[in-house]
Amino acid sequence: MVEDDCARGVIPLPLIDDRTLARVIMYLNKHTEDGASDEAKRKFDEEFLSGMERIADGMMNKSVEWVRKTFHIESEFTSEEEEQMKNEYAWAWEGVDSNAD
């Protein structure tokens, strides 16, 4: 993108909060750092992805409500739409820890 003269343009990111954007920038900066060895980048990636994996593991088998509450996410669906999804994709709710709410 920078090579295509997009560096001076504005890219709207309405759904990304400051904290998430800072993490994305940190990740990208690490990979574009002058003098950063491939080994340093590999180690950084391992640590970064390990953290993401811990978060994903913590969400495993948790209900949608638990995830929303834990990560302060507001639903963008109406009650009717959510019920329709539960009916259409019932498999996605199988094995969910209902006590995690």
Computed from CA positions of residues 37, 38, 41, 47, in that sequence, does the dihedral angle turn out positive or negative? negative
pLDDT digits (tens, 9 = 90+) for 35-59: 888 898 899 999 989 999 999 999 9
Which residues, 6 or more positions from 62, have their beta carbon under 8 angstroms from its beta carbon?
70, 96, 97, 100
Note the pTM of the prediction, 2 decimals.
0.60
In the chain, what are the domain boundaries? 14-60, 62-101
Dig out the tokens for 38 from the structure: 């491939």
Report how far apart, in Å, the C-alpha atoms of 45 and of each of 12, 20, 41, 82, 100 are.
Answer: 26, 17, 6, 36, 31
pLDDT digits (tens, 9 = 90+) for 64-91: 899 999 988 999 999 999 999 999 999 9
pLDDT digits (tens, 9 = 90+) for 4-28: 555 667 888 888 889 989 988 988 8
